[in-house]
Amino acid sequence: MNLFNLFLFVGLPYIALVTFLVGTIQRYRSKGFKVSSLSSQFLEGRSLFWGSVPFHFGILVVFCGHLTAFLIPRGVLLWNGDPLRLIILQVTAFSFGLSMLIGLSGLLVRRFTNARVRMVTTRMDLLLELLLFTQTALGLWMAFNYRWGSSWFAADLSPYLWSLLSLSPDISAVSELPLAIQLHIVNAFLIFTLFPFTRLVHLLVAPLHYLMRPYQRVIWNWDRRAIRHPNTPWSPTRPKNT
């Protein structure tokens, strides 16, 4: 059992981390064309709304919540010091998790029932959706049964995750956790491992730079003035207009 735990909570996370980093970089470099999510809204638009929107907003909030608890556990514990604030945090997180679950079920049903959408569905899409569905359901189950998640995540799991990152894994706390939570953790590592082979890569290319750039884009392949100027020295890189 101890060895098994060692594999699940030490081996797997490192495998996940390495696959995630190497796989994603490799995919971006060699299959840049495919670094996006294959949208099926063009084939079916109406029921997508009821799946995609609750799912995405749900996962955005829930993911950011996990990230916060991981990055600043002390801040979260401080916030949770007041019971009212704790309840507000938990209820918000739970409702967004619920919205995620509802959205995901909608998306799953849509994938299975719509003939056109089935044509652009790969096995990996289905696997990923099932994993995410399990993850969400487990998360909601835990949030309901093992209160208060935000506090014990910050107190027990963040140190564990940091111990992984600092290459001195300490699994004493994790191996004592209830099964549902352990499953949730292992499933998370699985999703991370699969990340570069799924449509999830689109979250790494979220177009936030759109906010910074001016609306119009003109690209000159060459800076013609520089090219035609006799004093411009020959160089292997083109003088470009920026």
Partner 1 sequence: MVFHLDKCIGCHTCSVACKNIWTDRKGAEYMWWNNVETKPGTGYPQKWEDQDIYQGGWLKDASGNLRLRGAGKAKGLLNIFHNPHLPTVDDYYEPFTYRYLNLIEAPPGDDQPTARPVSLITGEPMDVKMGPNWDDDLSGTPDYARKDPNLEHLSPAEQEAMFQLERMAFFYLPRICNHCLNPACVASCPSGAIYKRGEDGIVLINQKVCRAWRMCVTACPYKKSYYNWHTGKSEKCILCFPRMEAGYAPACMHSCVGRIRYIGVLLYDADRIHAAASADTKDLVNAQLDVIVNPFDEEVIASAKANGVPDSTIKAAQNSPAYKFIKEWGMALPLHPEFRTLPMLWYVPPLLPVMASVRPGDQSQKAKLNDMAKTWTDDWLYDTSTTELWGTVEQARFPLKYLASLFSAGDTHAVADKLKKLMAVRIYRRFKTVGDVTEERMKAALRETGLTQESAEGIFYLTALAKFNDRFVIPPAHREQAMEMLEFTGDVKGNTGFGFRERPERGL
Question: In this structure, how many other beta carbons lie within 10 angstroms of the beta carbon of residue 173?
Answer: 15
Cβ distance to partner 1 smaller for residue 217 or 231? 217
d(CA 68, CA 78): 13
d(CA 189, CA 184): 9
The span of 69-77, 78-86, 120-128, 166-174 binding partner 1 (CB under 8 A) equals 120-128
Three-state secondary structure call for residue 155: helix
d(CA 92, CA 98): 10
Cα 234 to Cα 221, 228, 229, 231, distances in angstroms: 16, 11, 11, 9
Which structure tokens are listed for 120? 């652009």
Cβ distance to partner 1 smaller for residue 2 or 216? 216
Give least dist CB 158 to partner 1, A. 29
Residues 65-84 that bind partner 1 (CB under 8 A): none
Residue 153: is it exposed, middle or buried by C-beta count within 10 angstroms (0-12/13-18/19+)? buried
The span of 7-15, 64-72, 180-188, 233-241 binding partner 1 (CB under 8 A) equals 233-241
Give least dist CB 62 to partner 1, A. 15
26 counts as binding partner 1 under rule CB under 8 A: no
The DSSP secondary-structure symbol of 241 reads: -
Give least dist CB 232 to partner 1, A. 11
The span of 139-147, 157-165, 178-186, 194-202 binding partner 1 (CB under 8 A) equals 194-202
Total length of the chain: 242
29 counts as binding partner 1 under rule CB under 8 A: no
Question: In this structure, how many other beta carbons lie within 10 angstroms of the beta carbon of residue 112?
Answer: 12
The span of 7-15, 47-55, 165-173, 185-193 binding partner 1 (CB under 8 A) equals 47-55
33 counts as binding partner 1 under rule CB under 8 A: yes
Among 4, 7, 14, 31, binds partner 1 (CB under 8 A): 31
**Contacts to partner 1 by CB under 8 A:** 27, 30-45, 48-49, 52-53, 55-57, 115-116, 118-120, 122, 124, 197-199, 201-202, 205, 207, 209-211, 213, 215-228, 236-238, 241
